[in-house]
Amino acid sequence: MPFAQPDVGDAEAEAVGEAIRSGWLTTGRLTAQFEQEFAATVGATHAVAVTSATAALHLALEAAGIGPGDEVLVPTWTFTASAEVVRYVGAEPVLVDVEPDTLALDLERAVGRVTDRTRAVIPVHFAGLPMDPVALSGFARDHGLQVVEDAAHAFPAGTGDALVGGGDSTATAFSFYATKTMTTGEGGMLTTHDDAIAARARVMRLHGIDRDVLDRYTRVGASWQYDVVAPGFKYNLTDMAAAMGRVQLGRAHDMRARREAISRRYTEAFADLPLQLPARAPDGVSHAWHLYSVRLLDAPLDRDGLVDVLGRAGIATSVHFIPLHLLSYWRERSGLRAEDFPVATDSFARVVSLPISSALTDDQVERVISTVRGALTGAGA
């Protein structure tokens, strides 16, 4: 049983096939349609399709003017991309510990990390549970910070009728990697209400050229002419990926509902086990359930032991995350100590992510439950 089985089928295959047969493979009309549909879904003014959430984060920071001499607050409980993009623009990531329940950025601890060089914060909606948008906006406003949300886990998720990606942040980055709640294989999206941020991101995603590729190759006349206004990047999404994305987008809420149903079954089945279960979404908040991560308490075996039992049963797992302060580059570069991040350090030793995918069958879900229960109780489900 794979850890994160993609939920794709004939509709996605047919859409990609149609894109191929159209004769236009790179960024074009399908990408533009995908952008419009995604922006409308989350309630953003603009959506810019790119090759990854990493690319979206990078473009957002660059467009926001973050650069050398600046500091950006980043939770230590995240994938390295959330911090490495800060280095891409020459700024300095400042790591912050996380909340013990949600494993999201601890805003109270973050206050103590703000300096006169702090320009932005990158909150991570871990596992698909949105951070409190009111608390986040208040923190940013109080300290004069721009907010670039890492929503790689958080589609579709939100508070009330407002989805992550449509709020008042500077920009939000989504991931469509193969393991995510919706996928284009590889891909991502930047959303924003800021016209200037969107315009800059569109230029910089393709070498800093001031005209998009569809315009240059389809306009009659001097279509070859263009200008380079900055040394940009190669982050544009293909129409083939966008074709898959449009189908996945149409299925996104149904796929989220299936993930939520699996999470409820897991929570019910594991309630009496020595596990710290994932934080529940407050009333009125929708959880994307990209991950179902548990933390062992006073259990008869440790995290690695549980991973081994599941592996021998043919069930793949993962660990989200190795905190950044424990990774060589970040630890050695900034002289970080494990004891300075007590929540993340303790949680890392105990955490394991169980399979959760809208493609999982009920039988597969019950197999995970039976194996976990057997490992932690010595009995079946």
Beta carbons of 149 and 192 less than 8 angstroms apart: no
DSSP-H helix ranges across 162-212? 195-204
Which of 251-267 are b and which e, b meaning 16 or more Cβ less than 10 Å from the residue's Cβ? bbeebbebbbebbeebe
Residue 381: pLDDT over 50:
no
DSSP 281: P
Residue at 4 is within a domain: no
Per the structure block, which two tokens stand in for 15?
A: 């859409």
Overall average pLDDT of the 125-129 stretch: 98
- Note the pLDDT of residue 211: 85
Residues 291 and 209 in one domain: no
**Percent of the chain having pLDDT more than 70?**
97
285 falls within a domain: yes
3-state secondary structure of 361: coil
Q: Do residue 183 and residue 147 come from a single domain? A: yes
Boundary of a domain, candidates 233, 249, 265: 249
Residue 5 lies in a domain: no
Query: For residues 16 and 157, what is the distance between their CA atoms, to the nearest angstrom?
Result: 26
Instruction: Kindly report, residue by residue over 172-207, the tens digit of the pLDDT.
Output: 999 999 999 999 999 999 999 999 999 999 999 999
Q: Do residue 135 and residue 194 come from a single domain?
A: yes
Point out the domain boundary residue: 224, 249, 274: 249
Read off the pLDDT of each residue in 56-77 and give the average, rounded to a whole number.
Answer: 98
| Residue 282 and residue 224 share a domain | no
pLDDT-derived band at 378 (thresholds 50, 70, 90) equals confident
Domain contains 2: no
Q: What is the structure's pLDDT at 379?
A: 62
- Tell me what pLDDT residue 221 has: 59
Determine, yes or no, domain membership for 3: no
Q: In terms of domains, do 115 and 192 share one?
A: yes
* pLDDT at residue 121 greater than cutoff 70: yes
Q: Which residues constitute the domain of residue 327?
A: 252-377
Q: Tell me: do 199 and 325 sit in the same domain.
A: no
One domain, residues 243 and 317: no
Domain finish residue from 198, 219, 249: 249
Are residues 232 and 274 both part of a single domain?
A: no
234 carries an active-site annotation? no
Q: What is the mean pLDDT of residues 152-163?
A: 97
Q: Annotated catalytic residue: which of 125, 153, 180, 200?
A: 180
Cα-Cα-Cα-Cα torsion 278, 168, 136, 319, nearest 10 degrees, comes to 30
Indicate the number of domains in the chain: 2
Quick one: DSSP state of residue 273?
Answer: S
pLDDT averaged over every residue in the chain: 96
Residue 222 is predicted with a pLDDT of 57
Q: Do 123 and 205 share a domain, yes or no?
A: yes
d(CA 304, CA 302): 6
Which token pair is 292? 């179902």
Q: Is residue 39 part of a domain?
A: yes
Q: Determine which of 116-120, 226-230, 255-259 has the lowest per-residue pLDDT on average.
A: 226-230
Amino acid at 358: S
In sequence order, which residues have a C-beta less than 8 Å from that of residue 189 and are 6 or more positions away? Answer: 35, 38, 47, 48, 49, 50, 56, 165, 173, 174, 176
Same domain, 244 and 320: no
Domain presence at residue 207: yes
